[in-house]
A and B are shown apart, each in its own frame.
Chain A
């Protein structure tokens, strides 16, 4: 797992949300953590596994749908596209690519013993 997210992890407590295999490669799922909806994405590429966690709520539509968006890259940024109006959100930071004034929260996430843990 990525070192930078470790540091942030201090802010929240870690929750085990699912097995890694519960998230199909290059898709997302939604986890309910302390009553909050967290979208967790699993990217699988030549360089191994990467996990990301964002708010599930799409700020443009107000619907809880981001876990159901398509993931990919725009230039250097890894993004998820909202399935409602197709805005892109940076998987690492939660910043909206189309409108930098809009951003959602990103959360630390890690894999341990084949399980996915999110810190909220």
Chain B
């Protein structure tokens, strides 16, 4: 029969716009009233009351919570926790009134109602929600003469039997040991007890139904109330004789944590967490399984970070019978066997065990158990690059370098199988280039390259290519600018300034590329490697040469860096920037490598990214002189090339780097692995063997032969059609292409 919401017997409680917070109809009526209201009050500062307050606030009402007790959530939380909780709730714009006993509700002056309190104060409000707890619905039991408690509730024994052995009561109507349980987990447990007992009574000889007793329930809860984490478990108030308490309170961050332990400090009896309930799952398990506490239990709730690390509860330490999901009664054993039967994701585990499907509080713990169990079973996440190589990119890199492997045929014969594919071929080509830096279009390398590297230009949606000459540091002479304009004009190319301070020229067909490069190379340009997973640009501000704020010559530094690393092939593209002062006009902190001038030298930032998932770069080292700066960049880049996954930008690489920034500093700055000199030597080899790929391509007749649209004709692709827009070409749409044949003028045919 359940329960009903309790409304205190206050005169005026049945006035219009007074609600309980229970059924969907209540909420619908509240929503209606909310539209006509400015101010709302909730009577009762418990779990449900705070939830109701959130609902009122969400409707845009000025919200008050009126609580009879001296603190919010009086049952679950102690004074200290209540204080932090109150401050948090109030900072969200809800006014909290404690120790207020409402004596009467009458007409208000500015609002619909006026609530009068026992202490003589008043509160005007347009609507009132009562959330003052529940009362068991025991009328049926009373009528039948079953025993009920003095304040209601059907009396039951440890098997959930009422005074009549043939009648059971479970859930919120049942009174066990003088207590009503208003949570879902005890209700489920009562149902299990009751069902087992009924079954055992009906079939007394069938041993598989072993009745067990209801022995009270864990009333632990973890909730997010109005965005505030609140958790309470076990003996939260330290009511056990001899109990000790450990309290941590941080009033600035509004965090309160309390542990209650046994007198000898060895077992955990309960606790309260407000503001940060991350340790709830761990602590609850420690309590429920009576695990022995570490000698200094305070570290369980102190912030980690400085000094002593928090003793973690390895899930391995949990006994198999540990109840992980108390809502749905799922033990660690049940989770482990589900993993054994093939549930290898959190979703699958939830589906087959129901763990973490009610309140969700145990999800982190379930995830930990899943991971530990997978690890224990030796299920490794497969990081093989593709079906042809049973290795990660990092492993392949080592195989290539250590084995001095220089061709794909040798690599796949020694370490792989099959013919390769569009994943492993470019990855291998990139590794060969990082290690040995041979011409990427050498006959045996060419077949490994993605089309961009194969034609040293960037393919576009219509199959044409774009061309980006290097404009180091974004610095260019007027004469060279004019050359770019002339070449673009001659070949009818669309031009656009890039984000990396260069000029991109679009719309060239394969057979035009060598002609265009020839003109560019003759004018002193070289490849910008915009087509490669390689060092692209070093963006720079104008620096101290011109800028009145600049403290270092950022353009010179950008040129030094760009010419040092240009063309370096890496797991993914690399973008750099150099700023001449702290104003950071070159946006170096959004780059893979950023240098920012200081009065004393350069600050080196690494692993930043714009793009899909922006990430601020982090300071690796400060106030470096030029030589040290370059040495650190050498090491950083080569370390990244050594250890990153295929197509993993430095930002993602850094996020996955065990040990994080400190580890990176150890390797690059402190040379803790002792590989600094080796990394620098590897970089020197690449720098010393630099050659412009365009120049090599146009000078080699064999390579040039491949730059034809058709192997048997000098024609161009007649499907490449442009129309004019804003004074330049753009690819024609399909509709425009089909109407072309009806006589619509086409402005720019490929040269």
Contacts and interface: CB of A to CB of B under 8 A. Distances in A.
B450 A83 contact: yes
B711 A22 contact: yes
A28 to B, nearest CB: 9
A22 B705 contact: yes
B439 to A, nearest CB: 14
A92 interface: no
Size range of the interface on A? 35 or more
B706 interface: yes
B461 interface: yes
B312 interface: no
B451 A68 contact: yes
A98 to B, nearest CB: 13
A65 B419 contact: no
A10 interface: no
Give the dominant DSSP class at A's interface: strand
Nearest to B706: A24
A37 B715 CA distance: 11
A65 B451 CA distance: 9
B205 interface: no
B712 A70 contact: no
A62 interface: yes
A69 interface: yes
Interface stretch (B421-429, B486-494, B610-618, B657-665): B421-429
B319 interface: no
B418 A64 contact: no
A73 interface: yes
Given A25-B447, A27-B446, A62-B734, A70 B426 contact: yes
With most chain B CB atoms within 10 A of its CB, the pick from A24, A27, A57, A62 is: A24
Contacts of B91: none
B387 A74 contact: yes
B422 A81 contact: yes
Interface string A36-79: 01001001010000000000010001111100111111110011
Contacts of A57: 719
B713 A32 contact: yes
A74 B421 contact: yes
Contacts of B424: 72
A1 interface: no
A65 B421 contact: no
B387 A70 contact: no
A70 B421 contact: yes
Given A23-B711, A62-B734, A83 B459 contact: yes
B705 A83 contact: no
Interface string A4-25: 0000000000000110001111
A30 interface: yes
Nearest to A70: B422
B187 interface: no
A57 B719 CA distance: 10
Contacts of B11: none
Nearest to A67: B711
Interface in A73-106: 73-75, 78-79, 81, 83-84, 86, 88
B246 interface: no
A29 interface: yes
Interface string B435-462: 0000000010011101100110001011
Nearest to A66: B463
A31 interface: yes
Given A27-B446, A40-B711, A73 B454 contact: no
Nearest to B452: A83
Give the dominant DSSP class at B's interface: loop
Interface in B479-538: 510
A31 B715 CA distance: 11
B710 interface: yes
B420 interface: yes
A84 B461 contact: yes
B717 interface: yes
B304 interface: no
Contacts of A22: 705, 711
Contact of B419 (A18, A30, A63, A72): A72
A32 B715 contact: yes
Given A25-B447, A68-B451, A78-B419, A63 B719 contact: yes
A78 B418 CA distance: 10
A119 to B, nearest CB: 15
A106 B461 CA distance: 23
Nearest to B734: A62
Contacts of B709: 30
Contacts of B448: 70
A32 B712 contact: yes
A25 B715 CA distance: 24
A83 B425 contact: no
A65 B463 contact: yes
A80 to B, nearest CB: 8
A74 B708 CA distance: 29
Contacts of B719: 37, 57, 62-64
Contacts of B711: 17-18, 22-23, 29-31, 40
A72 B425 contact: yes
Contacts of A72: 388, 418-422, 424-425
Contacts of A64: 463, 717, 719
A24 B712 contact: no
Nearest to A35: B718
Contact of B421 (A27, A32, A45, A79): A79
Contacts of A74: 387, 421
Interface in B389-425: 418-422, 424-425
Given A30-B709, A65-B451, A74-B387, 15 more contacts: A18-B711, A18-B712, A22-B705, A30-B710, A31-B710, A43-B419, A57-B719, A61-B461, A64-B463, A64-B717, A68-B451, A70-B450, A70-B451, A71-B447, A81-B421
18 contacts: A27-B446, A27-B447, A32-B713, A43-B419, A62-B462, A64-B463, A64-B719, A65-B451, A68-B451, A70-B422, A70-B425, A71-B447, A72-B388, A72-B425, A73-B421, A79-B421, A84-B459, A84-B463
For the complex of A and B, 6 pairs with smallest distance between CB atoms: A63-B463, A72-B421, A81-B422, A83-B451, A29-B711, A70-B422
